[in-house]
Amino acid sequence: MSLAHTAAEYMLSDALLPDRRGPRLKGLRLELPLDRIVKFVAVGSPLLLMSLAFAQEFSSGSPISCFSPSNFSVRQAAYVDSSCWDSLVHHEQDGPGQNKMKSLWPHKALPYSLLALALLMYLPVLLWQYAAVPALSSDLLFIISELDKSYNRSIRLVQHMLKIRQKSSDPYVFWDELEKARKERYFEFPLLERYLACKQRSHSLVATYLLRNSLFLLFTAATYLYLGHFHLDIFFQEEFSCSIKTGLLSDETHAPNLITCRLTLLSVFQIVSLSSIAIYTILVPVIIYNLTRLCRWDKRLLSVYEMLPAFDLLSRKMLGCPINDLNVILLFLRANISELISFSWLSVLCVLKETTTQKHNIDTVVDFMTLLAGLEPSKPKHLTHPACDEHS
C-alpha cells in the first residue's frame, strides 16, 4: 500500500464523527435564546417588584398615616389607621351636600396583582412546555442524529470507494461503476430529506409558537390597560379623606366625619407602576422580532448541509411558505448548533469548496472527500477519450 493511500485512509478516519450512543444530547435547548430572555423577564420582573413591595411594607410598618384629632386616645387613633386602610376610600365634596367616593384599592392589591401578573405570564411558557417540547425534542434528536449519520455515511462511502479503486486493476470498470451509481442515486439517503419535506406540511409546532408569543402580547396589552385604568387615576394622590364614623367611633359626637390620611408607600407604588410599563415596553419589540423570524428561512444552515447527498431542499427549490414546522425546527437546530458536530466539518468543506479550482465537479461531501483522498471526482479525460474512440 502506498504512502498516499495510507495518508488518505488516515485522513478519512479522522473525518469520521464519534458515535454518540448512551445518554445523548443532554444539553438540548428547547427554548430559543430570545424566548428564554422574554420568559425570565416577563415572569421574573413582577416577582422581583412584588418582593420590593412586601419588603418596603414590612420595613416601614403601617402603609398609611392618619392625622387623628389630638383628643383621640391611642386605641381610637389605632382604630382610625386600621379602619381607613381596610376601606381605602377617598371622600371628596362634589357640589353642595354631595359626596364623591373614589376607591384606592390598587394600593392594597399591589403585591397580589404582581403575583397574578407573574402567573399569567407563565401560562405561555407552560403551553410551550407541554404542547410543543415533547414533539420538538424527538424531532431534534432524530434530525441531529440523521445529519451526523449522513455525514458519516458519506465519509465511509469514500473509504469504500478508495478501497475498491486500490483493488481494481481496470480503471475503466471502476469509473463506469461510479458513474452508474451516481445516475442511479445510490449515494443518496432520502429518509431525512423526506422527513423534512413532511415537516413543511405540518403546522402544529409553528401554531404553538405563534400562540405562545401572541399570548405574551395579549397579556402585555392587558397589563397596559390595567395600569392605565386603575393606577393612572391615583398615581399622584398621596393624601385622601377617610370617613371614620363607623364601628368604634360611630357614636362619638366629638369625632369628625372625615380625617386626612397619607399613603406612606406611594413612592413604591409609583416605582412599581413605571417599572412594569418600561419592562414590558422593552419586551414588545423582542416578541415581535421572534414572530418575524418565522417569515424567512435560515438558508445559511441549509446551504451548509447541501453538501450532504440527498439534502437538496434549496437546489430543488422545495422551500415554500416559511410558516411551518420545518422553519421552527431550523431555528432550534441553529440554537443547538453545538450538538451538530457535522456542521463544523461541513462549514469547513464549504469554504474549501469555494476556493477549489474544480467547482463544477464538486457537489457533495462525497465529491470533495474523494478529491482530498486523491481520486478524481469525475472520470479523468484520458479515460474518457478511449471509450469514445471505441464507439466511433
In the numeric block, which cell numbers belong to residue 16?
469520521
Question: What pLDDT sits at residue 390?
Answer: 45
Question: What pLDDT sits at residue 328?
Answer: 93
Count CB neighbours of 332 within 10 A: 20
Question: What pLDDT sits at residue 206?
Answer: 95
In 3D, which of 251, 248, 239, 237 has the Cα closest to residue 77? 248
Beta bridge partners of 90: 102
Determine the Cα–Cα distance for residues 35 and 41; give it in Å rounded to an integer: 10
In 3D, which of 7, 32, 97 has the Cα closest to residue 294? 32
Question: What pLDDT sits at residue 277?
Answer: 95
Q: Is the pLDDT of residue 385 over 60?
A: no
Share above pLDDT 70 across residues of the chain, in percent, rounded to a whole number: 68
Q: Is 354 exposed, middle or buried (0-12, 13-18, 19+ CB in 10 A)?
A: exposed
Determine the Cα–Cα distance for residues 81 and 260; give it in Å rounded to an integer: 11
Determine the Cα–Cα distance for residues 85 and 89; give it in Å rounded to an integer: 9
Beta bridge partners of 46: none
Whole-angstrom CA distances from 134 to 129, 261, 268, 291 are 8, 56, 42, 21
Q: Are 379 and 175 within 8 A, CB to CB?
A: yes
Q: Are 176 and 297 within 8 A, CB to CB?
A: no
Whole-angstrom CA distances from 186 to 179, 315, 345 are 10, 19, 23
Q: Is the pLDDT of residue 38 over 70?
A: yes
Provide the pLDDT confidence category of residue 135 given band limits of 50, 70 and 90. very high
Query: What is the H or E stretch that residue 103 is in?
Result: strand 99-103
Q: Which amino acid, residue 218?
A: L
In 115-272, beta strands by DSSP E? 239-243, 258-263
Average pLDDT, the chain: 78
Least confident of 188-202, 305-319, 324-338, 376-390: 376-390
DSSP labels, 248-302: GGTT-TTS-SEEEEEETTHHHHHHHHHHHHHHHHHHHHHHHHHHHGGGS--HHHH
In angstroms, what is the C-alpha Rg of the chain? 36
Provide the pLDDT confidence category of residue 361 given band limits of 50, 70 and 90. low
Question: Mean pLDDT throughout 264-273?
Answer: 90
Question: What pLDDT sits at residue 133?
Answer: 93
Question: Mean pLDDT throughout 228-234?
Answer: 89
Q: Are 179 and 299 within 8 A, CB to CB?
A: no
pLDDT, tens digit (0-9, with 9 covering 90-100), for 91-131: 776 656 567 788 888 988 899 999 999 999 999 999 999 99
Q: Is the pLDDT of residue 89 over 80?
A: yes
Q: Are 264 and 62 within 8 A, CB to CB?
A: yes
Question: What pLDDT sits at residue 369?
Answer: 57
Question: Mean pLDDT throughout 345-359?
Answer: 70
Least confident of 7-11, 37-41, 253-257: 7-11
Determine the Cα–Cα distance for residues 299 and 289; give it in Å rounded to an integer: 18
Q: Is the pLDDT of residue 49 over 90?
A: yes
Residues 6+ apart with CB under 8 A from 298: 327, 330, 331, 334
pTM of the entire predicted model: 0.80
pLDDT, tens digit (0-9, with 9 covering 90-100), for 164-200: 666 666 666 666 666 655 554 555 556 777 888 888 8
Determine the Cα–Cα distance for residues 12 and 229; give it in Å rounded to an integer: 69
In the numeric block, which cell numbers belong to residue 281?
415596553
Q: Is the pLDDT of residue 288 over 90?
A: yes
